[in-house]
């Protein structure tokens, strides 16, 4: 929620980016925030002057850097004020945009872990205003990028207030018909039908790692195993999480192994012609009758021997009624990261990013626990206890 106007909240839709250094959205900066100065149906925020210390800090540490970005030039407003300009990255089609740094406020619901409860939480944050034209390539009605990275200017920093722990959890649904969940804070977390089972009891943990020059989140994958055969991942290879990539990408050498091995252990299943961006597809119907696919897990073997099992629900993408494809993509022979875990593999997996202890909690598929990310109770409760 991005504003509280006339005794009600204004809701906006944001694209979640767990790598972005800064939140930016469709708004305008106004030097004089007197009543009536903001046009109807436009969100106005207070600007940051180019003379302020925070301007230089954000421009040097959180502004998107690329040889394709224009050189940052501070903007002089019609009132003669100097506004702080920052470069931001459009993660949908990758052009560099220029936006004006502001002082922003975001409001979030509070919860007891079972359902929302009365009250809200105000997060005061630096963000940036970009023109509406910057979001033309975004999904319908999405007018911003919300940064949930480790950057000091992401929204997480603004939420980091006692007694909340610096922990966030993400649970993406497998259907657009239901909302997913983002939690910030200590827990507990409950999903129906388990009224008294904390989802944290389902989790295994592995260390979160840092990568130079990135505000994103990384883990160590030692090997990938399919039906007792595995490929070792080099010790210097990185595995990154992305809420921008729709499918997990694998460096070409790793991708080729996974496709060959998966193809071998599923050789009895009829093939379909590959359809971009996928390299291995299956026919899911025989003589007009739909056939259930019985496929092996693809196991990511992590540090300390922990195993993230990617089951059929997260390894196979149904692209038509009679065609399903292995939902991994060739990332190229020289990709910066050996593995980038994309959002299809997030679906119905509960991921807990414990930033205080630098750990990732992961559930593998919740469907095996007879629940899902769509099973949170969004009915407003009456108490915080």
Series of mean pLDDT values for 10-residue runs along the chain (385 residues): 78 94 92 71 87 92 78 76 90 87 91 89 91 90 95 92 89 92 92 92 96 94 95 93 97 96 92 94 73 85 94 94 94 96 97 96 96 92 59
Q: Distances in Å between the alpha carbon of 200 and those of 183, 203, 204, 298?
A: 13, 5, 9, 23
| DSSP string across 54-91 | HHHHHHHHTS---TTSPPP-PEEPTTS-EEPEEEEE-T
Find out whether 28 and 44 touch, Cβ atoms under 8 Å. Answer: yes
Domain spans, the chain:
3-161, 199-375
The answer to whether domain 3-161 and domain 199-375 are alike in fold is yes
Task: Report the CATH number of the 199-375 domain.
Answer: 2.40.70.10
pTM greater than the 0.75 cutoff: yes
Query: Is residue 247 classed exposed, middle or buried when 0-12, 13-18 and 19+ CB atoms within 10 A define those classes?
Result: buried
Q: For position 383, what pLDDT does the model report?
A: 58
Q: For position 290, what pLDDT does the model report?
A: 60
Identify the CATH homologous superfamily for domain 3-161.
Acid Proteases (2.40.70.10)
């Amino acid at each position: 929620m991005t504003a509280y106007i006339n005794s009600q909240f204004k809701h906006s839709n944001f694209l979640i980016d767990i790598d972005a250094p800064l939140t930016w959205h469709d708004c305008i900066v106004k030097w004089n925030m007197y009543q009536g100065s903001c046009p109807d149906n436009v969100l106005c925020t207070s600007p940051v002057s180019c003379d302020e210390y925070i301007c230089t800090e954000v421009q040097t540490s959180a502004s998107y850097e690329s040889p394709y970005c224009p050189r940052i030039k501070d903007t002089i407003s019609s009132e003669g004020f100097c506004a702080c300009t920052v470069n931001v990255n459009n993660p949908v089609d990758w052009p560099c945009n220029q936006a004006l740094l502001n002082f922003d406020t975001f409001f979030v619901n509070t919860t007891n872990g079972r359902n929302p409860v009365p009250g809200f939480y105000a997060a005061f944050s630096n963000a940036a205003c970009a023109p509406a034209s910057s979001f033309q390539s975004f999904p319908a009605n999405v007018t911003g990028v919300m940064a949930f990275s480790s950057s000091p200017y992401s929204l997480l920093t603004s939420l980091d207030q006692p007694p909340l722990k610096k922990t966030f959890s993400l649970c993406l649904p497998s259907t657009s018909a239901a909302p997913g969940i983002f939690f910030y804070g200590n827990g507990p977390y409950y999903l129906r039908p388990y009224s008294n089972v904390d989802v944290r009891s389902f989790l295994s943990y592995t260390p979160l790692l840092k990568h130079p020059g990135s505000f994103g989140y990384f883990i160590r994958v030692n090997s990938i195993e399919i039906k007792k055969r595995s490929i070792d991942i080099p010790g210097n290879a990185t595995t990154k999480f992305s809420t921008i990539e729709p499918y997990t990408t694998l460096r070409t050498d790793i991708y080729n192994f996974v496709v060959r091995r998966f193809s071998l252990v599923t050789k009895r299943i009829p093939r379909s012609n590959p359809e971009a961006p996928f390299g291995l597809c299956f026919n899911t119907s025989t003589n007009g009758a739909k056939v259930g696919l019985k496929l092996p897990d693809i196991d990511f073997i992590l540090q300390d021997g922990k195993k993230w099992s990617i089951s059929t629900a997260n390894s196979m993408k149904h692209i038509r009624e009679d065609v399903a494809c292995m939902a991994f993509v060739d990332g190229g022979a020289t990709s910066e990261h050996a593995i980038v875990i994309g959002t299809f593999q997030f679906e119905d997996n509960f991921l807990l990013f414990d930033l205080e202890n630098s750990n990732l909690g992961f559930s593998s598929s919740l469907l095996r626990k007879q629940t899902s990310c769509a099973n949170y109770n969004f009915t407003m409760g009456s108490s915080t206890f």
